[in-house]
Amino acid sequence: MTADSPAFALNHMCAAGLSISAFFDLARAIGAVGVEIRNDIDGNAIADGTEPAAIAEAATARGLRVISINALQRFNAWGEAREEEARALVAYAKACGAEALVLVPANDGTGRANGERQANLRIALKALRPILAEAGIVGLVEPLGFETSSLRYKSEAVEAIEALGASGAFRIVHDTFHHHLAGETALFAAHTGLVHISGVTDGAIATAEMRDGHRVLVDEHDRLDNTGQIAALLSAGYDGPLSFEPFSQIVHELPDLGAALARSIAHVSARSRRQAA
């Protein structure tokens, strides 16, 4: 992927009501290179007991990469239960051909104290490293920009990964929504393994009040500067996919989601190329 030809992927959250086969068909129809499946959609994908071999076969039949399973929640609140969950998800990821497991921090206001959050992060990364390595799965650390998050900043994730000498085991997710919420200006293109994209167009809400339900497809009314973020990442050498992850019911209920995604792809591609030039 280059600034002239960014590659796109779909997170199942953009079409949470579709079955795996219909979701994969949508991804193929819009020219996506891959998909992200989720373990938090009731009655679908992993949650409904779908065998990992079925995921692998469906993706291969459509020429799609399974980029990630999204996600191991509260990964930095490590303990026996979290380890058990991690091992199960990593095993599923390996069996379905997924390349990575997204790692999401606790987001309930706990573990946020300076010193505590850095220590918890390193404990979790140290424990996860051999589990991931044995399966050949990459861990994608995704900081959440909410004020209640125990890992808001990509800089802290990168610092921990480098301190552990674990850049081969872990990458970070640059989520355009969370990057905006965190107010973090630094980019870490060399450490970025995946970019999640979504826009916010509601002009009535303050940044601190933005939530997942406000996340829509990226268009000319986007308040998050998605295309500016993407252009900067591409210019800095990021060459992975841009994965759509809108949570809003507005997107889920669109009568022609494929056409809407195509328009958003065209907008993001054209605008980011101009800004990267």
Average pLDDT across the chain, whole number: 96
Confidence bin at 44 (pLDDT 50/70/90): confident
Average pLDDT value for residue range 143-151: 98
| pLDDT of 1 above 60 | no
- 């799965």: which residue's tokens? 137
- 């380890």: which residue's tokens? 83
Retrieve residue 206's tokens.
């303050």
Average pLDDT value for residue range 177-193: 97
Alpha helices, H only, the chain: 20-29, 52-61, 80-96, 116-135, 154-163, 176-182, 226-235, 249-252, 257-276
**Given this model, what pLDDT does residue 276 score?**
83
| pLDDT of 3 above 60 | no
Which of the pair, 5 or 35, is modelled with greater confidence? 35
Least confident of 28-37, 64-73, 94-103, 267-276: 267-276
Average pLDDT value for residue range 145-165: 98
Dihedral over Cα of 249, 255, 261, 266: its sign:
negative
Tell which residue, 70, 38, 81, has the closest CA to residue 140. Answer: 70
Tell which residue, 126, 138, 176, 137, has the closest CA to residue 154. Answer: 176
| pLDDT of 2 above 60 | no
**Given this model, what pLDDT does residue 4 score?**
60
Average pLDDT value for residue range 171-188: 97
Q: Is 259 helix (H, G, I), strand (E, B) or coil?
A: helix
d(CA 16, CA 9): 15
d(CA 252, CA 254): 6
**What are the sequence ranges of the domains in the chain?**
8-276
User: Which long-range contacts (C-beta less than 8 Å, at least 24 apart) are formed by 86-89?
Assistant: 86/128, 86/131, 87/131, 89/39
| pLDDT of 176 above 90 | yes
- 């009655």: which residue's tokens? 43
| pLDDT of 68 above 60 | yes
Average pLDDT value for residue range 233-242: 96
| pLDDT of 24 above 90 | yes
Least confident of 40-44, 52-56, 142-146, 199-203: 40-44
| pLDDT of 43 above 90 | no
Average pLDDT value for residue range 169-190: 97
**Given this model, what pLDDT does residue 63 score?**
98
The CATH class, in words, for 8-276 is: alpha beta
Q: Is 194 helix (H, G, I), strand (E, B) or coil?
A: strand
| Cis before 71? omega within 30 | yes
| Cis before 77? omega within 30 | no
Average pLDDT value for residue range 128-145: 98
